[in-house]
């Protein structure tokens, strides 16, 4: 009888003492949900608004190409992808004829994006320093536009970047000296960018880099670290470098594509060239090279293309090259197929 009358009075007391925090937490979660949802919707709308402001800054033809860009949510727009929260994660607009600048694109609104690709358009002006706020960016492709000005040092704040392509633009100045901050970089593709100066020394810190192309610029300095890297693709072609091809080239043990044509390097072909066992394409044309073709070049059994034309080489072509059935050799200005037929020719 005592228990029957006391339990109804004890339970509310226990509820207030033991379970109150649980109910408070539950209440807070439910009350916060509408605010979180409103905040999410506000940001989605802000991102869409930022894109629309950029759209109206472009020319009429560009705006027509972006006709799907309307409304408060950008997830279904041309070239736009979103994550599970409906925040913009990818801006992918290559080759659709965009004309205008990047100055009116408010990068601060897109800190979630991992890909920005506006390649093969007609964008002009400079790269805004504000681009450095894109802290989650993995791929940045600005290639084949009409961008100019100095490459901002803020681009080196994109520490998660894997692929950086700024080729075929008309920048002024050199690569940012702090490029070595981009420790996750796999590909640095900047040929035909009108770059001057030297390749930054800090590039030796890019231990994950496997593709480096700085061809077609006005560079004149190569840091020693280049020859001690794990690169698979290296192009120094068509520049103003000077000096001979160093013996340290032997350290490029992983290189598969090596383009030094028209680089300004001269001298002789190092005997050590034969130790680049993984090489597939080797182009040393237009380097004012002299002396013989090293016999060791016959050890490059994976090679499919060899360019040696427009040099001052002398002597016989090594008979070892006759074993390369599928090798294309450029010794004069024309291609000579199958080394088997040319081993007795003289240069």
Q: How many Å apart are CA 271 and CA 274, to the nearest integer?
A: 6
Q: How many Å apart are CA 117 and CA 139, to the nearest integer?
A: 7
Residues β-bridged to residue 262 = none
Write out the CATH class of domain 242-347.
alpha beta
User: What is the mean predicted confidence (pLDDT) over 263-273?
Assistant: 95
Residue 255 has which token pair? 């290189």
Query: Which ranges of 261-346 would DSSP assign to H, the alpha helix?
Result: none
Question: Please, what is the average pLDDT of the chain?
Answer: 87
Residue that is written with structure tokens 């029957």 in the block: 4
Dump pLDDT digits (tens) for 2-61: 444 444 444 454 444 454 555 444 445 444 444 445 567 888 999 999 999 999 999 999
The gap between the terminal CA atoms of the chain, to the nearest Å, is: 117
Q: How many Å apart are CA 247 and CA 243, to the nearest integer?
A: 12
Of 179, 85, 84, 99, which is closest to residue 140 (Cα–Cα)?
A: 179
Dump pLDDT digits (tens) for 158-213: 999 999 999 999 999 999 999 999 999 999 999 999 999 999 999 999 999 999 99
Q: Where are the domains of the chain?
A: 242-347
How crowded is residue 176: how many other Cβ atoms within 10 Å of its Cβ?
18
Find how far residue 166's CA is from the centre of its chain. 8
Whole-model pTM: value is 0.85
Q: Are 195 and 172 in contact (CB under 8 A)?
A: no
Residue 328 has which token pair? 């294309």
């Amino acid at each position: 009888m005592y228990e029957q009358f006391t339990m109804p009075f004890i339970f509310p007391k226990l509820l207030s003492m033991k379970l109150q925090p649980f109910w408070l937490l539950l209440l807070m979660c439910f009350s916060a949900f509408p605010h979180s949802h409103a905040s999410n919707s506000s940001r989605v709308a802000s991102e869409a608004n930022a894109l629309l402001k950029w759209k109206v800054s472009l020319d009429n033809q560009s705006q027509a190409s972006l006709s799907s860009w309307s409304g408060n949510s950008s997830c279904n727009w041309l070239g736009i992808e979103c994550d599970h929260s409906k925040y913009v994660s990818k801006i992918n607009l290559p080759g659709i004829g965009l004309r205008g600048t990047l100055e009116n694109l408010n990068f601060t609104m897109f800190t979630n994006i991992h890909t920005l690709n506006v390649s093969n358009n007609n964008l002009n002006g400079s790269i805004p320093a504000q681009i450095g706020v894109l802290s989650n960016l993995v791929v940045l492709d600005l290639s084949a536009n009409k961008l100019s000005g100095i490459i901002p040092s803020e681009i080196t704040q994109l520490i998660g970047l894997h692929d950086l392509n700024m080729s075929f633009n008309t920048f002024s100045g050199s690569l940012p000296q702090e490029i070595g901050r981009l420790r996750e970089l796999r590909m640095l593709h900047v040929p035909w960018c009108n770059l001057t100066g030297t390749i930054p020394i800090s590039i030796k810190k890019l231990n994950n880099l496997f593709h480096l192309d700085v061809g077609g610029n006005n560079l004149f300095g190569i840091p020693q670290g280049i020859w001690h890297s794990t690169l698979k693709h290296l192009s120094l072609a068509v520049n103003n470098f000077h000096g001979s091809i160093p013996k340290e080239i032997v350290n490029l043990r992983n290189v598969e594509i090596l383009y030094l044509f028209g680089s300004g390097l001269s001298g002789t072909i190092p005997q050590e060239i034969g130790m680049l066992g993984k090489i597939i394409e080797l182009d040393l044309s237009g380097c004012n090279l002299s002396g013989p073709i090293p016999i060791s070049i016959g050890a490059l059994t994976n090679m499919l293309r060899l360019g040696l034309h427009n040099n001052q080489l002398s002597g016989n072509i090594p008979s070892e090259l006759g074993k390369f059935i599928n090798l294309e050799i450029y010794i004069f200005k024309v291609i000579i197929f199958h080394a088997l037929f040319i081993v007795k020719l003289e240069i």
